[in-house]
Structure 1
Amino acid sequence: MTLAVAFDSIYTGDRCSCAMLSLKLRMIRAIHSQLRRRLLAASWAITLTMLACSSPPAPQRTDTDPVADTGADRTIALGTTLVLDGSGSRDDDDDPLNYRWSQGQDNPESFVLGSEAVIEIAPATAGPYLFVLTVTANGRNSEPDTLRITVAGSDNTPPVAVAGLDYALPIGSNFFLDGTSSSDADGDSLQFLWEPVEASAMVTLVDSSAAQTRFTPSGSGSFLFRLTVSDGQSTHTDEVAIVVTGAGNQPPVAEAGDQQTVGVGLEVTLDGSASSDLEGDPITYRWIVGNNPGEVVTLSDSTDAMPRFTPNLVGDYVFGLIVEDATSESLLDTVVIEVVDQVYSARSGMIEIPAGSFLMGSEAGLAGESPVHVVNVSTFWIDSVEVTAAEYAVCVREGACDTPGEQPDCNFGLTERDDHPINCVDFAGATAFCGWAGKRLPTEAEWEKTARGPNDQRRFPWGDEDPTLLAMQDPDLRLLNYNNLLGATASVGTFGDGKSPFGVHDLAGNVMEWVSDRYNPDYYAVSPLSDPQGPSSGEQRVARGGHYLAIRDAATVSVRNRVQPDGRVPVLGFRCARTDTPP
């Protein structure tokens, strides 16, 4: 700011000039005072700005788990529509919620549950029902919240709504909704209500209260209609899906594959590869996870024709598949995966391993474990545990087997170790015992399929989890005898938590096991596709699995140990196999 005051006159001694000078001096003082106030204000503004700029950064956000809320347990009348309402769930970080409903195994009937906050279902059977809600926000899962519903019976039989078959037609066709197959066992008159649940375009219903009506879509897309029928006391609902295609375009057809029965813990591959488009247009895949026994299921890729998942609970897993071409989508096709406790037979201490293919070897393993290759193995039976010292002693007493090594840590002849695996046995001794017992040594391929299971590339018999980390999380877990845990062998079958998908014990620890194959580090590159028997020549033999002194990386299902056939060491034992069914 520039201060300029022009003096027109100076003091000359006359009164007028003095008055003028006095007035101008007062003006100078006022302007100076105003200037000081403005400079002071500007100084404070600069100071406050500097303080704001030098303030510490806001603390990082600490994410919290969301909270699932299904509301209060309640009782409803049979025939009443049940509303599962999870809209009271919350996330204190205000992240969007994803909803996952599941239902109890013992419910009187099951339903296909969606992933919405609010779901309506119509129980047709009286009894107690259990529903579970888990919500997810920003990758964090809530604790599950349970809802118990009692459906009380009555003398009235609820009606049955039938909304008709799903179908697809090009735009411009006559689109009918037909609920005339709905019924009431008591002969009561029915009232009907049609409602669009999902619509890709605007729809106009001719009469939403008629048993049979017609609708007009404003464009192509997928449409889902719900039919509710009432006999005045109870209601029941059913839904129908209709695909409206563009003019001249035929919708693709989804094929979700055949129903499968698998063992719990085994990887499952869903197969939508038979899906097609009549006009040969490229199609994309969209898999939908439906009802399951009560876990969060994540597919390897929900847009792949053949995604994978691993079920951890026994029960039915339902999946839906929709395929799309450039202008329309298919009707939903579903497949049920039945998961059971075991998919093998047990007899005379042996386990049946069913015929089928698996991936053998490892690209991340030790020498000789690659390449990974497909192997088809015929049905065979294998001992559920390693041959014990007591069993081998019988063969020695009968003169069919030679006495094994008896150096320190060998189990033969020690009564307190009768139920431990026989060790210190060479290849000839193991072969002789299996022949005496009416069996044989397993091949390398048979042994690995037993340890790995039929459908995955697991690292250990129980899965991919590191045994050291699992033991830290659960000290009571009994996976394997390795890494000098006990300093010696253990009774066979002691480490039950580490059994293979087929229920076979001690394949990762205790003692490594003779198999019938000779050793060649390059054999996997030339191995035949079906029932490989190993190289035709070679001095060394193969022993599979870890042992009680082995480190973690030597206890995998793919590790191959090369051993001289006359080796009699405390860490080496065996189990037997056979091709036919045991007596």
Structure 2
Amino acid sequence: MKCSLMAVLTALPLGACADAGEPKTEVTVNEALPEEVQTVLRRSVENLVFVEGGGFQMGDVGAYITNKSLNEGALGSYEFVDKNHPDAMWMPWVFQAAGEKRTAEPVHKVTLSSYSMGKYEVTFEEFDVYAQATGSPVLAEGMLGKRSRKPRKPAHLMTWQQARDYCLWLGENTGLNMDLPTEAQWEYAARSRGKKVAYGTDTGMPKKGANIGLGLGVGKVGSYPPNPLGLYDMSANAKEWMLDWFAPDYYANSPEVDPQGPESGTEKSVRSGKVVLQRYHEPPKAAPRIIKEFGYEGHPYVGFRCVVNEDKPIILK
């Protein structure tokens, strides 16, 4: 096991390596690091939300509404009822265009180990510190302009590999097992440990301007209330890269325990948007013509957050 010299666990002397299976709950940041790097590392640990593992029904669980509210009410003004209501009808949350495969089905049981997830999407400010510290490319600095490239807005326009490299960098410098979230981890957390809701908002339902954005584009992270688990922007701001390769029929073949997605593919899974049950997918980086024409390799409005695959809460010492 390779030790990081930039941060160590409090329980270990500087430069020592922990056993691979040893729980890592207390983290100390190396004070010899540049101050801006220390700040990002501390903030990343402090902003972790512990997600206790468990089982849930993953996929488009839908909802029961009254037939009358569907046919006679204003668009979207549904009356949600129990399935035994005499006027109940089942409605899917994810609507596909005619002829498109329903990738959020079938609903299937998933059981997850405990983990921790970043409270916020990674910001431009944080990614810039990482880029400077590692000599990595700055994200499309000339293309975004000052208006879009605000420090506390979600970083986007990075490739899948750039997003993953950032999470791995955090892990190397905290001694934690950090990575991008799997689709299952992301949906379970967005639904506050698998509750039967379709929106990752404070109420489980959307209210424009109150708990989700009003239109296109992205705003400052944490602009709206978190979901009950304490995670922000799960139904707002940027979409987010997942660890998984994407396959439209993966739900029919997914293992129950800690699914990691298909072994290979041509596109990576992307989640968020509005309805947290919806699955999106993008190539790991933009098409050559986009790179040539616009000068960036990532995708507009696709950002990310990181997870820690440890079964105990993480504490900054």
> What TM-score do you get using the length of structure 1 for normalisation?
0.35
Measured in 2, the distance between the counterparts of 1:448 and 1:525 equals 17
Report the residue type matching 2:282 in the other structure: V
Is the partner of 2:167 in helix, strand or coil? helix
Gaps (5+ residues) in structure 1? 1-345, 472-476, 547-554
In the alignment, structure 1 residue 351 sits paired with structure 2 residue 49: yes
Q: Which residue of 2 aligns with 1:461?
A: 200
Deviation at 1:411, TM superposition (A): 7.1
In the alignment, structure 1 residue 383 sits paired with structure 2 residue 122: no
- Alignment map for 1:31-110 (pairs within 5 Å): none
Superposition CA RMSD, Å: 2.2
Q: Which residue of 2 aligns with 1:403?
A: 138
Deviation at 1:400, TM superposition (A): 5.4
Measured in 2, the distance between the counterparts of 1:455 and 1:461 equals 11
Q: Which residue of 2 aligns with 1:543?
A: 270
In the alignment, structure 1 residue 362 sits paired with structure 2 residue 60: yes
Is the partner of 1:562 in helix, strand or coil? strand
In the alignment, structure 1 residue 478 sits paired with structure 2 residue 210: yes
Deviation at 1:405, TM superposition (A): 2.5
Measured in 2, the distance between the counterparts of 1:481 and 1:564 equals 26
Name the CA shift for 1:440/1:412 in 2 (closer, same or farther; >3 Å): farther
Q: Deviations over 1:359-381 (max 9, x none)?
A: 11105224310011111111000
Identity %: 29
CA contact (8 A) 1:375 1:531 kept: yes
Name the CA shift for 1:459/1:418 in 2 (closer, same or farther; >3 Å): same
Deviation at 1:557, TM superposition (A): 1.1
Deviation at 1:573, TM superposition (A): 0.5
Q: Which residue of 2 aligns with 1:504?
A: 231
Report the residue type matching 2:167 in the other structure: C
Q: Which residue of 1 aligns with 2:128?
A: 393
- Alignment map for 1:45-444 (pairs within 5 Å): 348-362=46-60, 364=92, 365=94, 366=96, 367-399=102-134, 401-406=136-141, 408-409=143-144, 414=149, 417-438=150-171, 439-444=178-183
CA contact (8 A) 2:285 2:299 kept: no
Q: 1:450 aligns with which of 189, 197, 201?
A: 189
Q: Deviations over 1:92-133 (max 9, x none)?
A: xxxxxxxxxxxxxxxxxxxxxxxxxxxxxxxxxxxxxxxxxx
Q: Deviations over 1:215-244 (max 9, x none)?
A: xxxxxxxxxxxxxxxxxxxxxxxxxxxxxx
Deviation at 1:481, TM superposition (A): 2.2
CA contact (8 A) 1:387 1:421 kept: yes
Is the partner of 1:505 in helix, strand or coil? coil
CA contact (8 A) 1:478 1:494 kept: no
Name the CA shift for 1:420/1:376 in 2 (closer, same or farther; >3 Å): same
Deviation at 1:541, TM superposition (A): 0.3
CA contact (8 A) 1:389 1:411 kept: no
Q: Which residue of 2 aligns with 1:340?
A: none
In the alignment, structure 1 residue 569 sits paired with structure 2 residue 302: no
Q: Which residue of 2 aligns with 1:518?
A: 245
CA contact (8 A) 2:51 2:193 kept: no
Deviation at 1:464, TM superposition (A): 5.0
Q: Deviations over 1:343-390 (max 9, x none)?
A: xxx961110000111111105224310011111111000000000101
Deviation at 1:556, TM superposition (A): 0.6
Name the CA shift for 1:353/1:400 in 2 (closer, same or farther; >3 Å): farther
Give the greater-gyration-radius structure (CA).
Answer: 1
Q: Which residue of 1 aligns with 2:254?
A: 527
Measured in 2, the distance between the counterparts of 1:528 and 1:423 equals 31
Q: Deviations over 1:375-428 (max 9, x none)?
A: 1111000000000101000111012533222364477994xx111111111101
Name the CA shift for 1:427/1:507 in 2 (closer, same or farther; >3 Å): same
Q: Which residue of 1 aligns with 2:289?
A: none
Deviation at 1:451, TM superposition (A): 0.4
Q: Deviations over 1:312-349 (max 9, x none)?
A: xxxxxxxxxxxxxxxxxxxxxxxxxxxxxxxxxx9611
Is the partner of 2:269 in helix, strand or coil? strand
Q: Which has the higher helix share?
A: 2
CA contact (8 A) 2:188 2:194 kept: no
Deviation at 1:457, TM superposition (A): 1.7
Report the residue type matching 1:570 in the other structure: P
Report the residue type matching 2:116 in the other structure: W
Gaps (5+ residues) in structure 2? 1-43, 62-91, 97-101, 172-177, 287-297
Q: Which residue of 2 aligns with 1:491?
A: 220
CA contact (8 A) 2:103 2:279 kept: yes
Measured in 2, the distance between the counterparts of 1:445 and 1:456 equals 13
CA contact (8 A) 1:519 1:540 kept: yes
Q: Deviations over 1:451-505 (max 9, x none)?
A: 012253201113453x3xx44xxxxx52122532xxx321110112xx2221100
Is the partner of 1:490 in helix, strand or coil? coil
Name the CA shift for 1:391/1:356 in 2 (closer, same or farther; >3 Å): same
Report the residue type matching 2:309 in the other structure: T
Q: Which residue of 2 aligns with 1:579?
A: 309
Report the residue type matching 1:354 in the other structure: E
Measured in 1, the distance between the counterparts of 2:114 and 2:147 equals 33
Measured in 2, the distance between the counterparts of 1:424 and 1:373 equals 32
Q: Which residue of 1 aligns with 2:28?
A: none
CA contact (8 A) 2:48 2:118 kept: yes
Is the partner of 1:381 in helix, strand or coil? strand
Q: Deviations over 1:7-27 (max 9, x none)?
A: xxxxxxxxxxxxxxxxxxxxx
Name the CA shift for 1:410/1:536 in 2 (closer, same or farther; >3 Å): farther
Report the residue type matching 1:376 in the other structure: T
Name the CA shift for 1:406/1:519 in 2 (closer, same or farther; >3 Å): same
Measured in 2, the distance between the counterparts of 1:387 and 1:561 equals 19
Q: Which residue of 2 aligns with 1:81?
A: none
Is the partner of 2:130 in helix, strand or coil? helix
